[in-house]
């Protein structure tokens, strides 16, 4: 089945530094990738939709200059948290779809990245 | 306003009991999905329901999509400790470009 690899699985960084999270589709081409944020024991909140070769679409309230998304190829999307602060600490998850027709079969999610900013 | 109302938020039961989780909305969804998530992991798809009134079974799990495609339920029979986890319903509104909206989740604990 479809596999999405997310890296790193956890990262600790100092306040003010930037962190890059990678999301790769291993056995299919992902035309669309989604980035979510999840707080402990809460649901997933969509941050942005990333389409290959175009600018990401951000949800209301998500700072696009702080959460930089790049989807330069059909198998890789990256999320960069710039000038991270402790309030950015969270669990970040990506998901991918190969095409609209695969939606009814569910999206494949990465295993998540636990970001801790100290 | 939460687009998908999921209930209950927390559920703690004994092994062998049955339970039902509900996912309700005032909006129509083109399809609805149920995921299960373990701590520190991404969600894993359990089922997708597409047709109003559809019922799908996955071993001890039964999923139902409402006739009007506005609600869904997940029923677990004879729950086991291995069923413990966060259960999430998610759907895409018609015309939303397949953007998933998640319910708040149900944290299920099955005690041995």
Q: What is the pLDDT of residues B35-80, one digit of tens each?
A: 999 988 999 999 999 899 999 999 999 999 999 999 999 999 999 9
DSSP state letter for B1? -
Phi then psi for B81, rounded to 5 degrees? -55, -30
- Per-residue confidence band for B1, with pLDDT thresholds at 50, 70 and 90: low
Quick count: other Cβ atoms within 10 Å of Cβ B12? 11
**Mean pLDDT rounded to a whole number for chain B:** 92
Cα separation, B34 vs A96, in Å, equals: 16
Q: Is the pLDDT of residue B96 over 80?
A: no
CA–CA–CA angle A5, A39, B106 (5° rounding): 95
- Mean pLDDT of all residues in B87-97: 81
Q: Closest residue of B to A98, CA-based?
A: B98
Distance CA B34, CA A105 (A): 11
**pLDDT category, A52, cuts 50, 70, 90?**
confident
Q: For residue A111, what is the nearest residue in chain B, using CA coordinates?
A: B42
Contact A95 B101 (CB under 8 A): no
Question: A-chain residues within 8 Å CB-CB of B6?
Answer: 43
pLDDT attached to residue B97: 61
DSSP element (H, E) containing A71:
strand A67-73
Min Cα distance A53 → chain B (Å) is: 17
According to the model, what pLDDT value does residue A105 have?
60
Task: State the sign of the Cα–Cα–Cα–Cα dihedral B58, B62, B63, B66.
Answer: positive
The dihedrals phi and psi of B82, each to the nearest 5 degrees, come to: -70, -10
Inspect the interface and report whether the beta carbons of B48 and A106 lie closer than 8 Å. yes
Q: CA–CA distance from B18 to each of B21, B26, B58 (Å)?
A: 10, 27, 15
Q: Indicate if the pLDDT at residue B3 is higher than 90.
A: no
Q: What is the DSSP-derived secondary structure letter of residue B41? A: S
pLDDT of B79 reads 97
Residues of B in contact with A104 (CB under 8 A): 31, 48, 50
pLDDT over 90 at B21, yes or no: yes
| Cβ <8 Å between B42 and A112 | yes
pLDDT confidence tier of residue A42, bands split at 50, 70 and 90: confident
Q: Which of B42, B48, B88 sits opposite A104 (nearest CB)?
A: B48
Judged by DSSP in three states, B69 sits in: coil
Residue A38 pLDDT more than 60?
A: yes
Which of B33, B50, B102 has the CB atom closest to A43's CB atom?
B102
Q: What's phi and psi for A25, nearest 5 deg? A: -90, 120
Element at B47 (helix H, strand E): strand B44-49
% of chain A residues with pLDDT over 70: 92
> In sequence order, what are the residues at sequence separation of 6 or more whose Cβ sits closer than 8 angstroms to the Cβ of residue A61?
none
What pLDDT is recorded for position B61? 97
Dist CA A96 CA A77 (whole Å): 9
% of chain A beyond a pLDDT of 90: 68
**Residue pLDDT, tens place only, A71-113:** 888 899 999 999 999 999 999 999 987 665 555 566 889 999 9
Residue numbers in A near B84 (CB within 8 A)? none
Strands (E), A1-118: 4-7, 10-13, 19-25, 32-38, 44-51, 57-58, 67-73, 76-81, 90-97, 108-109, 113-117
A112 and B40 in contact by Cβ < 8 A?
yes
- Nearest of A92, A41, A32, A107 to residue A62 by alpha carbon: A92
In the predicted model, what is the mean pLDDT of chain A?
Answer: 90
The answer to whether residue A46 neighbours chain B at the CB level (below 8 Å) is yes
Closest CA to B49 of A3, A98, A105, A44: A105
Contacts of A108 in chain B (CB under 8 A): 45
């Amino acid at each position: 089945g479809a596999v999405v690899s997310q890296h790193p699985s956890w990262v600790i960084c100092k306040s003010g530094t930037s962190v890059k999270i990678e999301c790769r589709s291993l056995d299919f081409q992902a035309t669309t990738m989604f980035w979510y944020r999840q707080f402990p024991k809460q649901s997933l909140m969509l941050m942005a939709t990333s389409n290959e070769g175009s600018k990401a679409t951000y949800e209301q309230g998500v700072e696009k200059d702080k959460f930089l998304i790049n989807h330069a190829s059909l198998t890789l999307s990256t999320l960069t948290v710039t000038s991270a602060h402790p309030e950015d600490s969270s669990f970040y998850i990506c998901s991918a779809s190969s095409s609209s027709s695969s939606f009814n079969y569910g999206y494949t999610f990465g295993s998540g990245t636990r970001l801790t900013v100290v | 306003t939460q687009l998908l109302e999921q209930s209950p938020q927390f559920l703690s039961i004994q092994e062998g009991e049955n339970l039902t989780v509900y996912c309700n909305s005032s909006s129509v969804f083109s399809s609805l999905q149920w995921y299960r998530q373990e701590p520190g992991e991404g969600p894993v798809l359990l089922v997708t329901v597409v047709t109003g009134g559809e019922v799908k079974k996955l071993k001890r799990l039964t999923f139902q999509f409402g006739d009007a495609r506005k609600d869904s339920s997940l029923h677990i029979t004879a729950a086991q400790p291995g069923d413990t986890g966060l259960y999430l319903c998610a759907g895409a509104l018609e015309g939303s470009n397949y953007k998933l909206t998640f319910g708040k989740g149900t944290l299920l604990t099955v005690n041995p």
